[in-house]
Amino acid sequence: MPPPHPDAPEPGTRLGPHYHQCFGCGDEVEGGLRLHAEVGKDSTILAEFTVTEAHQGAPGLAHGGLLAVAFDEALGNTVGQMLREPAVTGRLETDFLRPVPVGSTLHIVGKLDGVAGRKVYASADGRLNDPDGPLALRARALFVLVDFSHFTTHGTADPRDVHPDINP
């Protein structure tokens, strides 16, 4: 595993939204996941969100695509916070091991697995209702480190919109 950046936040640090209108973590998005995250031990990110009726795919059950959003967010946070560089998801694989009912809380632990040039490998587990609860999902991702111009060229980013800690 690559060492964390010297400025990576300490274990126990609560991480606010990186962007208030982010569907994964933002606090201004109706029906968004509002995923909360903090830094765990050994350079992990601990994230959690509670499945609401806005997140259903079948009656009473979370939509798989929304669960993948939670992992994209938690893994993106892991990469951004531990390496302190902007990155985007290039590839995301998700194994859905158990149904996730409305009202349950998913506890996700993300970690870095390796860095090769601009490619960053990360993975995460998601457990139901307790950090030691049954394993419900597993995900692996490849993130690609990008310059901040990625967000201004392709999007409408303003430096004031994104988390200042992980801006170049």
Ligand X SMILES: CCCCCCCC(=O)SCCNC(=O)CCNC(=O)[C@H](O)C(C)(C)COP(=O)(O)OP(=O)(O)OC[C@H]1O[C@@H](n2cnc3c(N)ncnc32)[C@H](O)[C@@H]1OP(=O)(O)O
| Residue 47 makes contact with ligand X by CB under 6 A | no
Element (H or E) spanning 69, and its range? Answer: helix 64-83
Q: What is the three-class DSSP state of 97?
A: coil
| Residue 119 makes contact with ligand X by CB under 6 A | yes
| Residue 142 makes contact with ligand X by CB under 6 A | yes
Count of residues of this chain found to bind ligand X when the rule CB under 6 A is applied: 17
Rg (the chain; Cα; Å): 15
* Residue 132 known to be catalytic: no
Catalytic residue among 27, 42, 72, 130: 72
Closer to ligand X at the Cβ: 54 or 88? 88
What are the distances in angstroms from CA 91 to CA 11, 72, 139? 27, 10, 10
| Residue 90 makes contact with ligand X by CB under 6 A | yes
Q: 158: which residues sit within 8 A by CB, 6+ positions away?
A: none
Q: Of 19, 24, 145, 130, whose CA–CA distance to 82 is shortest?
A: 145
Instruction: Indicate which single residue of 1, 91, 103, 114 sits in contact with ligand X (rule: CB under 6 A).
Output: 91
Instruction: Indicate which single residue of 39, 62, 67, 76 sits in contact with ligand X (rule: CB under 6 A).
Output: 76
| Residue 118 makes contact with ligand X by CB under 6 A | yes
Closer to ligand X at the Cβ: 61 or 146? 146
The sheet with strand 14-15 has its strands ordered as: 14-15, 36-39, 45-50, 105-116, 119-128, 135-145, 87-96
**Residue numbers of the site for ligand X (CB under 6 A)?**
18, 24, 72-73, 76-77, 80, 88-91, 117-119, 142, 144, 146
Catalytically active residues are 72
